[in-house]
Amino acid sequence: PPLYKQRYQFVKDLVEKYKPKKVADLGCADCSLLWMLKFCSCIEVLAGLDICASIMKEKMHTLSPLPVDYLQPSERSLTVTLHHGSVAHKDPCMLGFDLVTCIELIEHLEESELKKFPEVVFGFMAPRIVAISTPNSEFNTLLPGVKLYRHPDHKFEWSQAQFQSWALETARCYDYSVEFTGVGHPPAGMEKIGFCTQIGVFVRKYPQTGESIQSEKPTEAVYKTVFKAVY
Ligand code: SAM
């Protein structure tokens, strides 16, 4: 399967493993991953965030309930919400999540946004699990036609050492553990190059109770809700 499908499948497997009830996808783009996740029966709240409203709106209708969802209502309730905003800003609508995914997001952030990102995601949102994927620049020599970066909008692409030192420092700072994996295997004999897409899975070390969070973190709403569906 193509690499993006392998990344989505990785998230799906993570959902099957940890059974989160509330999942937020940051940099959700055209909502393809959210659409896949709506079939995971453990999920009751799904939220997407993107800085680009038009790309989110392209296929957001696919997140609406179908006639069959009304004819055969399921036991679980599901709410899907899309927000327009930046991961550089805190908004209380992102509190209380169990899993936050950032798939191919960080390499699109400007330096100033990347600086604020850890405090927003790990400090403020503080979900139990965070999954971050980003290109592994060491793999680029194996990709035909790639000169500097894989995509013109990438602000950087990190080697394994660069990503791991950023992730380890972030984890240490916000009291998470982090493990590294990826998708897209290197050819046999070239294992040192690592995965084509590198992934860090962060798990919060300290417990947190769902109810107390909101009141402890008074913040003004800054994101704009562009879509909401209740199943
Ligand atoms: N996660 C999707 C996937 O894996 O298919 C899309 C990844 S796309 C390469 C990166 C997305 O991040 C774009 O949709 C872009 O608009 C969004 N983005 C860039 N900067 C952002 C920011 N500061 N806050 C939220 N989203 C941002």
**102 CB under 6 A from ligand 1?**
no
Reply yes or no on whether the pLDDT at 105 is more than 80: yes
**86 CB under 6 A from ligand 1?**
yes
CATH superfamily of 3-230: Vaccinia Virus protein VP39 (3.40.50.150)
More confident residue, 76 or 52: 52
Q: Which residues pair with 183 in a beta bridge?
A: 197
Query: How much distance in Å is there from the Cα of 86 to the middle of ligand 1?
Result: 9
Reply yes or no on whether the pLDDT at 217 is more than 90: no
Query: How much distance in Å is there from the Cα of 24 to the middle of ligand 1?
Result: 13
Within 10 Å of residue 148's Cβ, how many Cβ atoms?
A: 9
DSSP track, 67-114: HHHHHS--SS--EEEEEE--TTS--GGGTT-SEEEEES-GGGS-HHHH
**52 CB under 6 A from ligand 1?**
yes
Which residue minimizes the CA distance to atom 10 of ligand 1? Answer: 105
Within 10 Å of residue 51's Cβ, how many Cβ atoms?
A: 18
Are 23 and 98 contacting, i.e. CB atoms less than 8 angstroms apart?
yes
Within 10 Å of residue 25's Cβ, how many Cβ atoms?
A: 25
Please state, in angstroms and as integers, the Cα–Cα distance from residue 35 to each residue in 46, 222, 228, 231, following that order.
10, 25, 13, 14
Q: ipTM score of the complex?
A: 0.99
**103 CB under 6 A from ligand 1?**
yes
Query: How much distance in Å is there from the Cα of 57 to the middle of ligand 1?
Result: 13
Reply yes or no on whether the pLDDT at 215 is more than 70: no
| pLDDT single digits (tens) 77-89 | 999 999 999 999 9
* Lowest pLDDT segment from 69-83, 91-105, 200-214: 200-214
Phi, psi for 22 (deg, rounded to 5): -125, 120
**221 CB under 6 A from ligand 1?**
no
**53 CB under 6 A from ligand 1?**
no
Query: What is the amino acid identity at position 179?
Result: E
**108 CB under 6 A from ligand 1?**
yes
Which residue minimizes the CA distance to atom 16 of ligand 1? Answer: 52
For the chain, the maximum distance between any two Cα atoms, rounded to a whole number of angstroms, is: 54
* Whole-angstrom Cα Rg for the chain: 18
Query: How much distance in Å is there from the Cα of 97 to the middle of ligand 1?
Result: 19
Of 92, 68, 102, 60, residue with least CA distance to 216 = 92
Q: Which two tokens stand for residue 94?
A: 């992102």
Provide the percentage of residues in the chain whose pLDDT is more than 70: 96
Query: How much distance in Å is there from the Cα of 188 to the middle of ligand 1?
Result: 32
Reply yes or no on whether the pLDDT at 212 is more than 70: no
Domain ranges of the chain: 3-230
Residue to mutate (ligand 1; options 28, 49, 51; most atoms within 8 A of CB): 51
Q: What is the pLDDT of residue 210?
A: 57
**121 CB under 6 A from ligand 1?**
no
Phi, psi for 216 (deg, rounded to 5): -75, -20
Q: Which two tokens stand for residue 169?
A: 């420092």
